[in-house]
């Protein structure tokens, strides 16, 4: 490997803040055959330069960059790759660069990469650092810049080229615009003669004002955003701007990145003919673009196929059937972003359905957690009889209902203060649980149709509860409400009526149609399915119950907080509110789900203690935290281990969780709280069996992962303790 070890650095873009120094450059080097090899070697350069934090900073940087790589490959067209990460393992914002002698595949559509930049940002990186790093990413879409990197003869030349991109030594006088091509407020011209976008001249909100198009004809506004918000966000923006210039169209982009975002001016949006959302996360303040023809995709498509996206946007302008952004378009219509992110191009119906359902479940879980824990605390203070029928009450009210209606702090019931407090807490919990299905349905509809879907979705959930359709009815009702609201929003209306659509017309008719269909057509079949499922669960015993426990355990461990995990948890939590003194199957299911979800982090923590040499230093540190995370029922504590070694870790923890789920179901343990782990042991009937089931699963998973990690490894492969 050939790279300079010079201690001096070139002047930085930020005035002495040297992001790239010669010691971080490897020219014509062989860094390995895989992207993981290259990332680890570049991370080692950053660590050797003293720019990582702590003894494990280098490994932490490598792991974070590889996790980002696993979620979305960072290879780009023309032989470029930009692995990147923002992590506490980085002490100073840094760049590491390699010009590879042996090209390596980073997942680009046109083949392997020979130019690789590792972008390393500290967890608390300031906006100035993030803007500098994003400038580099944007420069990589310029053929002239990448050509100069391939021709550089020394590490110092590479540093100089990068510094010139980040902050030229002297401001250049603005070039005279072409005829008809003005710039707003003196902004630099948007493109060179060859069409390459200048790093400081892209039409994004980093400028004080948008850049005018070459023709003054149609305008397209766009939003770009990726999960990290450092590289792809800005490269996509510049690629779209350059594509617009090639098509003779003004493209103005709002980059929603880590360094912040300046919203596009309302008049710029109002004058746009179409919208492009190139995002991997939700669009902030999506409602600002309401009514505009929409083209949407993941952020990488805007880098790889910007011309195609601009062409699609132009076709959508003239297509009355084209998808449009839902919402009222008001200036303050910002709240709709998180749950109603732009659709991901190429995800298909299955991907969209998954997003809709997970949005509903994610908004439902706070109601489950708050309501369930309040009920459990009510049991702790007032006893389990607090929710049973009050003896001698002519109205047949539950004891907690009678107490909160007929008594107060100045007029306590016979059971005293604790019974009164227990009644209040359990009543609050039951009210929160009453919103569980409406919240599920409401936010499924919200994910599909934005804010106009919320009202019909909540009503569909209320209908599901009133008719006995329950959790299944909430799922179906939410999907129905979202589909109806979305269909109504696409009906062409005159300009004067558009303001009424999202606040009056869509909620009214979507609620009417959804409610009627739920009551008249779907309620009885869905209620029958729900009742049949409840009867089936109540009748489970012996081998059938054990099988259910195994399935739930496998689901909890497979993706550690992902869709399958959330599905199993939502299934258990939704049934918790329906449990009665004679129907305790939901309580056992809840116990199986919680116990199985506690096993993965606890088992991996145990494994790091038993066989330290099988784990890296960061994994051993994660193991210390995993004890508490597992004890608190936070299955996500196992994710760092699974991300580093999924083929060995995931099957091992699934085996242990399945064991625990089976034992809990077989022993009939009951749990009245939906969350909390060891902190809600007071709400468990059969706590000894519960603990033994967890210990059994821990041992099974720990042994499995130790065996899996030991197979095929020599002593030289083991990490030093």
Task: Output the CA torsion 628→630→631→632 (10° steps).
Answer: 90
Name residue 25's beta-bridge partners: 97
Indicate if the alpha-carbon torsion angle 610, 615, 620, 623 is positive or negative.
negative
How would DSSP label each residue in 513-548? Answer: HHHHHIIIIIHHHHHHHHHHHHHHHHT--THHHHHH
Residue pointed to by tokens 């070039």: 175
Query: How far apart (Å, rounded) are the C-alpha atoms in residues 556 and 599?
Result: 9
- Backbone φ and ψ for 312, nearest 5 degrees, come out as -65, -40
d(CA 159, CA 163): 6
User: For residue 224, how far is the Cα from the chain centroid?
Assistant: 16
Contact 596, 661 (CB under 8 A): yes
> What are the phi and psi torsion angles at 157 (to 5°)?
-65, -40
Among 168, 156, 169, 166, CA closest to 21: 156
Q: Which two tokens stand for residue 237?
A: 């923006």
Residue 344 sits at φ, ψ, to 5 deg, of -90, 120
3-class DSSP string for 70-116: HHCCCEECCCEECCEEEECCECCCEEEEEEEEEEECCCCCCCCEEEE
Number of Cβ within a 10 Å radius of residue 492: 9
> Residues for the chain: how many in total?
721
CA 106 remoteness from chain centre? 22
Contacts (Cβ under 8 Å, ≥6 apart) of 355:
341, 344, 347, 447
Axis-axis angle for helices 646-667, 687-710 (nearest 10): 160
Q: How far apart are CA 129 and CA 12, in angstroms?
A: 11
- Does 84 qualify as catalytic in the annotation? yes
The span from the CA of 403 to the CA of 258, in Å, is 52
Q: Nearest CA to 555 among 657, 475, 708?
A: 657
The full DSSP string for 385-420 is GGGSBPTT-TT--BHHHHHHHH-BTTB--TTHHHHH
Q: Using CA atoms, how far apart are residues 620 and 646, in angstroms rounded to an integer? A: 17
226 flagged as catalytic: yes
DSSP conformation letters of 317-361 = HT-TTS-B--S---TT--TTTGGGPPPPTT-HHHHHHHHHHHHHH
Q: Are 82 and 119 in contact (CB under 8 A)?
A: yes
Distances (CA, A) of 533 to 380, 581, 583, 606, 665: 30, 18, 13, 37, 17
d(CA 22, CA 24): 5
Query: Are β-strands 294-297 and 684-685 bridged in parallel, bridged antiparallel, or unpaired?
Result: unpaired
Q: Which listed residue (3, 129, 226, 232) is catalytic? A: 226
Catalytic residue (one of 3, 84, 232, 675): 84
**Region at 396 (left for phi over 0; alpha for psi -120 to 50; beta for the rest):** left
* Separation CA 431–CA 433 (nearest Å): 5
DSSP tag of 262: -
Strand partners, 275: 221, 294
**Alpha-carbon gap, residue 282 to 294, rounded angstroms:** 15
Q: 10 Å Cβ neighbour count for 512?
A: 13
Q: Which residues pair with 708 in a beta bridge?
A: none
Task: Give catalytic residue positions.
Answer: 84, 226
């Amino acid at each position: 490997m050939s790279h300079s070890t010079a201690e001096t650095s070139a002047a930085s873009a930020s005035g002495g803040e040297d992001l790239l120094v010669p010691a971080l450059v490897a020219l014509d080097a062989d860094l390995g055959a895989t992207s993981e090899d290259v990332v680890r070697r570049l991370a080692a350069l950053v660590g050797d330069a003293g720019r990582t934090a702590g003894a494990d900073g280098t490994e932490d940087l490598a792991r974070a960059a590889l996790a980002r790589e696993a979620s979305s490959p960072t290879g780009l067209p023309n032989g470029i790759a930009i692995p990147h990460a923002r992590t506490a393992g980085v002490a100073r914002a840094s760049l590491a660069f390699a010009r590879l002698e042996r090209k390596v595949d980073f997942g680009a559509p046109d083949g392997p990469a020979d130019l690789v930049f590792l972008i390393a940002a500290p967890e608390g990186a300031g906006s100035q650092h993030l803007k500098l790093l994003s400038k580099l990413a944007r420069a990589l879409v310029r053929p002239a810049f990448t050509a100069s990197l391939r021709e550089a003869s020394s590490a110092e030349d590479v540093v100089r080229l990068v510094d010139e991109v980040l902050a030229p030594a002297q401001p250049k006088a603005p070039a005279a615009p072409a005829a008809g091509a003005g710039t707003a407020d003196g902004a630099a011209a948007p493109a060179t003669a060859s069409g390459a976008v200048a790093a400081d001249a892209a039409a994004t909100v980093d400028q004080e004002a948008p850049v005018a198009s070459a023709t003054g004809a149609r305008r397209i506004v766009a939003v770009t955003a990726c999960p990290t918000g450092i590289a792809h966000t800005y490269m996509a923006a510049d690629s779209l701007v350059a594509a617009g210039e090639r098509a003779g169209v003004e493209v103005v982009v709002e980059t929603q990145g880590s360094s912040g975002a300046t919203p596009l001016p309302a008049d710029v949006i109002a004058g746009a003919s179409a919208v492009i959302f190139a995002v991997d996360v939700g669009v902030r303040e999506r409602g600002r673009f309401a009514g505009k023809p929409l083209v949407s995709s993941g952020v990488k498509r805007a880098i790889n196929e910007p011309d195609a996206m601009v062409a699609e946007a132009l076709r959508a302008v003239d297509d009355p059937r084209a998808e449009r952004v839902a919402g009222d378009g008001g200036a303050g219509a910002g709240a709709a972003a998180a749950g109603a992110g732009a659709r991901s191009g190429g995800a298909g119906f299955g991907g969209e359905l998954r997003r809709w359902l997970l949005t509903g479940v994610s908004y439902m879980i706070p109601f489950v957690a708050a309501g369930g824990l309040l009920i459990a605390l009510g049991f702790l203070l007032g006893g389990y009889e607090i929710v049973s029928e009050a003896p001698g009450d002519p109205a047949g009210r539950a004891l907690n209902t009678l107490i909160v209606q007929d008594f107060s702090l100045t007029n306590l019931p016979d059971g005293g203060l604790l019974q009164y407090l227990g009644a209040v807490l359990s009543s609050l919990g039951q009210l929160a649980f009453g919103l569980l299905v409406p919240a599920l349905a409401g936010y499924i509809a919200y994910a599909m149709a934005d804010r106009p879907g919320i009202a019909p979705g909540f009503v569909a959930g209320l209908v599901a509860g009133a008719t006995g359709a329950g959790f299944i009815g909430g799922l179906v009702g939410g999907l129905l409400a979202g589909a109806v609201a979305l269909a109504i929003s696409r009906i062409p209306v005159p300009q004067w009526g558009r303001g009424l659509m999202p606040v009056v017309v869509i909620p009214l008719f979507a609620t009417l149609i959804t409610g009627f269909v739920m009551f008249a057509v779907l309620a009885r079949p869905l209620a029958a399915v729900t009742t049949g499922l409840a009867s089936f669960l109540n009748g489970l015993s012996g081998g059938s119950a054990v099988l259910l426990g195994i399935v739930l355990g496998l689901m909890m461990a497979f993706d550690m907080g992902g869709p399958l995990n959330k599905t199993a948890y939502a299934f258990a939590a939704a049934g918790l509110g329906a449990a009665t003194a004679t129907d305790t199957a939901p309580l056992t299911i809840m116990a199986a789900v919680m116990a199985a979800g506690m096993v993965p982090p606890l088992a991996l923590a145990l494994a790091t203690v038993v066989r330290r040499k099988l784990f890296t230093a960061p994994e051993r540190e994660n193991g210390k935290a995993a004890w508490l995370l597992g004890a608190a029922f936070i299955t996500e504590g196992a994710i760092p281990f699974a991300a580093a070694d999924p083929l060995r870790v995931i099957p091992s923890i699934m085996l242990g969780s399945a064991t625990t789920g089976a034992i809990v179901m077989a022993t009939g343990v009951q749990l009245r709280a939906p969350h909390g782990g060891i902190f809600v042991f007071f709400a468990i009937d059969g706590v000894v069996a519960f603990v033994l089931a967890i210990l059994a699963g821990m041992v099974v998973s720990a042994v499995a992962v130790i065996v899996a990690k030991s197979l095929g490894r020599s002593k030289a492969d083991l990490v030093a303790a």
